[in-house]
């Protein structure tokens, strides 16, 4: 699709000059018109990526034209220009929705750079609109969003695994959607009409977890006043999902190994075993092979679990899905929070693509919820979600986004300072946070809070 720009100026010599000089440098199609009314007619008839309009024009001036453009096409990128370099014009233009403001006479190279940034904003807007349409078009696999090659491999694996009735081990960092993947396996399996029972293993104390999983007989222990059916029996014919299996004790591992081998359980206090027909799906965010080497996880149990493995990639391995996932979350959370549907600004989408999502989709969802609640306008910006601009790790410098508010510009400067200062500090102390804090006069806890806020990881500065 070719890029097109509409230039509006009552000076015909200026129109010819701009068309002749900008077309080859921007590699785009440029149309010109000499009045605001004719510009509106052209915009009603043709699609343009950018409007470059003069402010001082007879009959309809540029500010009135800007208002009418934004009324009919609020997403269209508009850049204003004038020979009258008055700050009032700049303020009025930005308030009425202009992306940028350029004062005549302008340097050609500067103009090209500013217009390239404006065209990039138009591209991001179109991409956002496309992603929103895809979300409405049900581009979702069993409540999992993403269409990258990495996620398509996950979907293929889930579909293959679901057809079999063997044990599944789902691995992936925290927040990558391991329970969603487990539910997808269950929903696509022959067991889909039976129960799906999820157990968050780390949240249940060891002395209670055994009785929760296997049940108990009356009198098995103090306060056991009646028989209790365990979660394995509740999941009969269906699936039990053991979330974060790496955190369970060796004792529970041994008893689960028996379930995998014999397909039976023994409630606490009972002398008889009970046969169960349950598929086990387990998940972990830990490296179980490392835990085996440290004698913290049974090797035989691991190989019984890891029959059909599914690995969920972290967000940084498929950044092309971030905007699609974000728009899906946005629509869902606006309804859940009883808020009018908002939009993610093009600057925010670009920032999110380069942000290091340590908490993956869970962190992304939490940030978007924060943005929905904190944004005063109907468009969510980086400052509303409290994430900094894109960071170039090689130079520790920020890629500034044009057209920022004072609050956003200040946040960018703050991010640049903290990344530069703390990175040098940690490098000097080989990633040791305690020594780095002592050398700069901060408490260790205070420095850690700053590092968490600005997504700075001390391990990246060790052994440099």
Shared domain for 396 and 408, answered yes or no, is yes
The answer to whether residue 302 sits within a structural domain is yes
Whether residue 164 contacts residue 308, with contact meaning beta carbons closer than 8 Å, is answered with yes
Residue 376 sits at φ, ψ, to 5 deg, of: -80, -30
d(CA 371, CA 386): 8
Q: Which residue, of 136, 160, 180, is where some domain finishes?
A: 136
Shared domain for 432 and 408, answered yes or no, is yes
Shared domain for 215 and 227, answered yes or no, is yes
CATH number reported for the structural domain that contains residue 337 in this entry: 1.10.8.60
CATH number reported for the structural domain that contains residue 238 in this entry: 3.40.50.300
How does DSSP classify residue 393?
A: T
Residue 100, SS3 per DSSP: strand
DSSP codes, 364-389 = HHHHHHHHHHH-SSSEE-HHHHT---
* Residues spanned by the domain of 356: 316-381
pLDDT in tens for each of the 464 residues of the chain?
A: 478 999 999 998 999 999 999 998 888 999 999 999 999 999 999 999 999 999 889 889 899 999 999 988 888 999 998 876 666 777 788 888 898 888 888 888 888 988 998 998 888 888 777 766 665 555 578 889 998 999 999 999 999 999 999 999 999 999 999 999 999 999 999 999 999 999 999 888 888 898 999 998 887 777 777 888 999 999 999 999 999 999 999 999 999 999 999 999 988 888 889 999 999 999 999 999 999 999 999 999 999 999 999 999 999 999 989 988 999 999 899 998 988 989 888 888 888 888 889 899 999 999 999 899 988 888 898 888 877 544 444 444 444 454 556 666 677 777 778 887 888 788 777 788 888 887 777 888 778 888 877 778 787 777 55
The answer to whether residue 141 sits within a structural domain is no
Whether residue 347 contacts residue 118, with contact meaning beta carbons closer than 8 Å, is answered with no
Q: Which residue, of 332, 352, 381, is where some domain finishes?
A: 381
Shared domain for 354 and 295, answered yes or no, is no
Shared domain for 297 and 322, answered yes or no, is no
Shared domain for 233 and 165, answered yes or no, is yes
Shared domain for 297 and 323, answered yes or no, is no
DSSP codes, 406-438 = HHHHHHHHHHHHHHHHHHHHHHHTTT-HHHHHH
According to the model, what pLDDT value does residue 354 have?
A: 82
The answer to whether residue 180 sits within a structural domain is yes
Shared domain for 197 and 118, answered yes or no, is no
d(CA 142, CA 144): 5
Among 402, 408, 405, 373, smallest CA distance to 388 is for 408
The answer to whether residue 31 sits within a structural domain is yes
Helices 12-26 and 108-136, interaxial angle, to 10°?
Answer: 70
Whether residue 255 contacts residue 280, with contact meaning beta carbons closer than 8 Å, is answered with no
Does the global pTM surpass 0.85?
no
Count of domains in the chain?
Answer: 4
The answer to whether residue 326 sits within a structural domain is yes
The answer to whether residue 433 sits within a structural domain is yes
Q: Which residue, of 85, 110, 136, is where some domain finishes?
A: 136
From residue 251, how far is each of 202, 205, 207, 210, 393 by CA, in Å? 14, 13, 10, 9, 44
Whether residue 172 contacts residue 362, with contact meaning beta carbons closer than 8 Å, is answered with no
Shared domain for 169 and 302, answered yes or no, is yes
d(CA 98, CA 90): 9
The answer to whether residue 226 sits within a structural domain is yes
Shared domain for 278 and 321, answered yes or no, is no
The answer to whether residue 371 sits within a structural domain is yes
Here the tokens at position 230 are 């365990």
Shared domain for 308 and 320, answered yes or no, is no
CATH number reported for the structural domain that contains residue 25 in this entry: 3.40.50.2300
Shared domain for 306 and 160, answered yes or no, is yes
């Amino acid at each position: 699709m070719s890029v097109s720009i509409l230039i509006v100026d009552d000076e015909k010599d200026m129109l010819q000059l701009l068309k002749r000089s900008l077309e080859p440098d921007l590699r785009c199609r440029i149309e010109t018109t000499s009045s605001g009314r004719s510009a509106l007619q052209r915009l009603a008839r043709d699609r343009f990526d950018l409007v470059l309009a003069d402010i001082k024009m007879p009959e309809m001036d540029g500010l009135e034209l800007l208002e009418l453009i934004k009324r009919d096409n609020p997403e269209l990128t508009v850049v204003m220009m004038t020979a009258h370099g008055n700050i009032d014009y700049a303020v009025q233009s930005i308030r009425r929705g202009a992306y940028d403001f350029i004062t005549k006479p302008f340097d050609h190279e500067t103009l090209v750079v500013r217009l390239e940034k404006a065209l990039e904003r138009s591209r991001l807007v179109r991409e956002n609109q496309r992603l929103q349409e895809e979300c409405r078009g049900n581009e979702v696999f069993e409540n999992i969003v993403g269409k990258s090659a990495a996620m398509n491999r996950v979907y293929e694996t889930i579909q293959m695994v679901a057809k079999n009735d063997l044990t599944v081990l789902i691995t992936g960092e925290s927040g990558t959607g391991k329970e969603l993947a487990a539910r997808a396996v269950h929903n696509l399996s022959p067991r889909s009409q039976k129960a799906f029972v999820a157990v968050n293993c780390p949240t249940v104390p060891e002395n209670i977890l055994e009785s929760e999983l296997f049940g108990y007989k009356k009198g098995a222990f103090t306060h056991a006043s009646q028989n209790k059916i365990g979660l394995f029996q509740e999941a009969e014919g269906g699936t039990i999902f053991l979330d974060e299996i790496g955190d369970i004790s060796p004792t529970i591992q041994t008893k689960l190994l028996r379930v995998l081998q014999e397909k039976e359980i023994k409630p606490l206090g009972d002398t008889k075993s009970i046969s169960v027909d349950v598929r086990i799906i387990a998940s972990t965010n830990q490296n179980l092979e490392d835990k085996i080497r440290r004698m913290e996880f049974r090797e035989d149990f691991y190989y019984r679990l890891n029959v059909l493995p599914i690995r969920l990639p972290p967000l940084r391995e498929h950044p092309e899905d971030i905007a699609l996932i974000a728009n899906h979350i946005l629509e869902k959370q606006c309804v859940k929070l009883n808020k009018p549907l908002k939009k993610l600004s093009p600057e925010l989408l670009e920032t999110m693509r380069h942000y290091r999502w340590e908490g993956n989709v869970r962190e992304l969802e939490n940030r978007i919820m924060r943005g929905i609640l904190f944004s005063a306008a109907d468009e969510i910006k980086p400052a509303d979600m409290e994430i900094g601009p894109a960071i170039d790790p090689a130079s520790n410098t920020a890629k500034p986004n044009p057209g920022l508010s004072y609050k956003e510009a200040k946040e960018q400067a703050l991010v640049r300072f903290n990344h530069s200062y703390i990175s040098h500090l940690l490098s000097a102390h080989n990633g040791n946070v305690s020594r780095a804090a002592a050398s700069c006069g901060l408490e260790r806890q205070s420095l850690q809070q700053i590092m968490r806020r600005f997504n700075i990881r001390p391990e990246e500065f060790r052994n440099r």
